[in-house]
């Protein structure tokens, strides 16, 4: 009886340990970030440079799908802005 209980407890602890490690995928890039920011789609009607998503120093641009293409713009104040031309991308901001 004690052996079965010990095995059950060890199995539970092992399962808990592996579930805490995560299942992989794109969420691994986001694990230590403070925020995940969706990037504006360039192709939506009425989208202008003013609507582009601003990037801050230290932001990481991540392409979520293959063949993702982004457009960047630098305004006169030195702010870098980005939007997606195709595919899906997001920013990781720590």
Domain contains 10: no
Beta strand residue intervals within 5-88, DSSP E = 35-38, 53-55, 60-63, 69-74, 80-86
Domain contains 70: yes
Domain contains 4: no
Domain contains 33: yes
**What does the pLDDT profile of the chain (94 residues) look like in tens digits?**
666 555 555 555 555 444 444 444 455 555 554 799 999 999 988 888 889 999 999 999 999 989 999 999 998 988 999 999 999 999 999 8
Q: Is the pTM of this model over 0.85?
A: no
Domain contains 40: yes
Domain contains 16: no
Domain contains 3: no
**Structural domain containing residue 59:** 27-93
What's the length of the chain? Answer: 94
Query: How many domains does the structure of the chain reveal?
Result: 1
């Amino acid at each position: 009886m004690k052996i079965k209980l010990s095995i059950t407890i060890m199995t539970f602890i092992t399962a808990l340990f592996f579930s805490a490690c995560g299942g992989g995928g794109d969420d691994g890039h986001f694990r230590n970030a403070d925020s995940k920011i969706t990037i504006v789609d360039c192709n939506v009607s009425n989208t202008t440079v003013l609507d582009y998503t601003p990037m801050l120093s230290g932001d990481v641009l991540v392409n979520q799908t293959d063949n993702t293409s982004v457009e960047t713009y630098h305004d006169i104040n030195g702010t870098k802005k980005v939007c997606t031309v195709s595919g899906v991308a997001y920013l990781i901001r720590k």
